Amino acid sequence: MSVTWSRLVLWITIILLITITLLYYQSAPYTVDPYSVEMSKMESLSAMRDALVLSSMIYTMILIIIGVMAWTMPLKRCLVKTFLSLPIGRSVFFIGNVFNIFLPPFIVFLVAHVFAGLYILSYVSVFDLLLLFPLILLNTLFIVSIVTLISLIVKDSIVSLFLASSIFLLPYQFPMQLKYINSCYFYTVTVAYIWHCVKHVSYSEAINLIAVTSLVTSIALILSFIYFLKMDVD
Amino acid sequence: MKVQKIGEILVMLGIAILLSNLIRSSNYSECCGFLLKPSKEAIEGFRLPPRNIRFEVNVKGGSIDLYFLSENDFKKMKEGKVAYIKYFHNITSLQWEFTVERGNYFILIKPIKFTDNEVFVEVYLTLYGIERDMTYIGFSLISVGIALVCLTKVFKRANEFK
């Protein structure tokens, strides 16, 4: 039964992510400058940036739901204890679960954007598209690390869902610190990407955002790992 | 088992592409205007999806020659050769419906008669219908996925009989 459930989640993730990602690439005539390749590139980039920002909302929501379910459900049903009775350690279980949460949505999201960039926008700079890989990976790990920490501490699905969603999706209702986390998350991918490709954003701003996001991700993951090693799973 | 999973994922990919294609196929209009002086010409480029396209032109203050060019035609024109997909001579208004493959296309406008000092040309592009290539991709993925799932099941059954 659990296999069917996980497969269903995978199917829904694939369908939702691809459908919504492609929806943000309009089926419209994109302007092409006949005499300037740079201008055409700018047009494609701005279309891609809009699609990235808009589709990242649903991507975040999917990651939050999968992350919370993957941690709180086994804890609630005491499945962690069952898993740990097998010849695997807590660290292997932790790493396996983190990979299980972020890898399928990450691959689907990345592939959908690269496909749309190459095929729909005909954006031929493969190097620029490859740059999306580390940036979306960092973005994904950032969300997953915070969701993991919240789920392990709170241990309740509904409360964790609300808390994680509030941090990422309702920034303006919360204090400055949380707002900063949210803005880091939203702009890391897009700002760094645009900085690289169009050079409109300052170098230091892009580097700062990447550094802060990496730092928060590392701290949250390390804290979650230590907490999981010490926690009572009965 | 792995092949069956790949098949299932391909079916899901196909469904997602078809679904997004259906939702993306709402009508879309784009308009641009050109103010042309004697002996001046205008060129505009678009990356068009393979949908049904209604192309409307209204000319005020004279008449024009209009060329609809593919990317290759445009390159040839730059080299001084004449090549085009469609050519309209001495028009003051136009309504043309066509379909194209996905790619870059250009319209070249040359004013030929002036009743005023300037010619004002309005171009409307309306896109409707679904994107044909995305539909093919979607159906192809679904077909390949179903074939993989069926083949896996057939082989599994054959092995059971052995």
- Cβ within 8 Å of B, A 123-152: none
- Whether residue A23 and residue B23 make contact (CB cut-off 8 A), yes or no, is yes
- Cβ within 8 Å of B, A 2-61: 7, 10-11, 14-23, 25-34, 40
CA distance A181 to chain B (A): 31
- Whether residue B43 and residue A34 make contact (CB cut-off 8 A), yes or no, is yes
Q: How confident is the model at residue A178 (pLDDT cuts 50, 70, 90)?
A: very low
DSSP for chain A, please give it.
-HHHHHHHHHHHHHHHHHHHHHHTS-SSPEEE-SS-HHHHHHHHHHHHHHHHHHHHHHHHHHHHHHHHHHHHHHHHTTHHHHHHHSS--HHHHHHHHHHHHHHHHHHHHHHHHHHIIIIIS----HHHHHHHHHHHHHHHHHHHHHHHHHHHHH--HHHHHHHHHHHHH-GGGS-HHHHHHHHHHHHHHHHHHHHHHH--S-HHHHHHHHHHHHHHHHHHHHHHHHHHHHS---
What's residue A222's pLDDT? 94
Tokens representing residue B73 in the block: 């035609």
Question: Which of the pair, A176 or B89, is modelled with greater confidence?
Answer: B89
Q: How confident is the model at residue A1 (pLDDT cuts 50, 70, 90)?
A: very low
Nearest-CB residue to B17 (from A22, A26, A122): A22
- Whether residue A32 and residue B74 make contact (CB cut-off 8 A), yes or no, is no
Using one digit for the tens of pLDDT, what is the confidence trace for B41-66?
A: 888 888 888 989 998 999 888 888 89
The yes-or-no verdict on residue B125 having pLDDT over 70 is yes
Residues of B in contact with A51 (CB under 8 A): none
Give the phi and the psi of residue B80 in degrees, each rounded to 5: 95, 0
> What CATH number is given for B27-129 in this structure?
2.60.120.380
What's residue B14's pLDDT? 93
Mean pLDDT, rounded, for A97-123: 87
- Whether residue A29 and residue B15 make contact (CB cut-off 8 A), yes or no, is no
Give the phi and the psi of residue A155 in degrees, each rounded to 5: 70, 5
Q: How confident is the model at residue A200 (pLDDT cuts 50, 70, 90)?
A: low
The yes-or-no verdict on residue A183 having pLDDT over 60 is no
Mean pLDDT, rounded, for A81-90: 81
Using one digit for the tens of pLDDT, what is the confidence trace for B4-28?
A: 888 988 999 999 999 999 988 888 8
Using one digit for the tens of pLDDT, what is the confidence trace for A25-82?
A: 877 787 777 776 666 677 777 777 778 777 877 888 889 999 998 888 888 877 777 8
Select the residue from A27, A35, A109, A122 to test the B interface by mutation, using most B Cβ atoms within 10 A. A27
Residues of chain B whose C-beta is under 8 A from some C-beta in A? 8-9, 12-13, 15-17, 19-21, 23-25, 28, 30, 43-49, 51, 74, 102-104, 106, 125, 127, 131
User: Cα angle at B13 between B10 and B15, to 5 degrees?
Assistant: 110
- Whether residue A27 and residue B15 make contact (CB cut-off 8 A), yes or no, is no
| ipTM > 0.90 for the complex | no
The domain spans of chain B are 1-25+130-162, 27-129
How many Cα atoms are found within 13 Å in the side-chain-facing hemisphere of B100? Answer: 22
Q: Which residue of A has its CA nearest to B31?
A: A29
CA distance A107 to chain B (A): 12
The yes-or-no verdict on residue A125 having pLDDT over 80 is no
- Cβ within 8 Å of B, A 94-123: 119-122
Nearest-CB residue to A15 (from B16, B30, B131): B16
Most confident of A79-88, A186-195, B108-117, B140-149: B140-149
- Whether residue A122 and residue B17 make contact (CB cut-off 8 A), yes or no, is no
Q: How confident is the model at residue B137 (pLDDT cuts 50, 70, 90)?
A: very high
The yes-or-no verdict on residue A191 having pLDDT over 60 is no
- Whether residue A27 and residue B104 make contact (CB cut-off 8 A), yes or no, is no
Using one digit for the tens of pLDDT, what is the confidence trace for B85-98?
A: 888 888 888 898 98
The yes-or-no verdict on residue A188 having pLDDT over 70 is no
The domain spans of chain A are 38-230
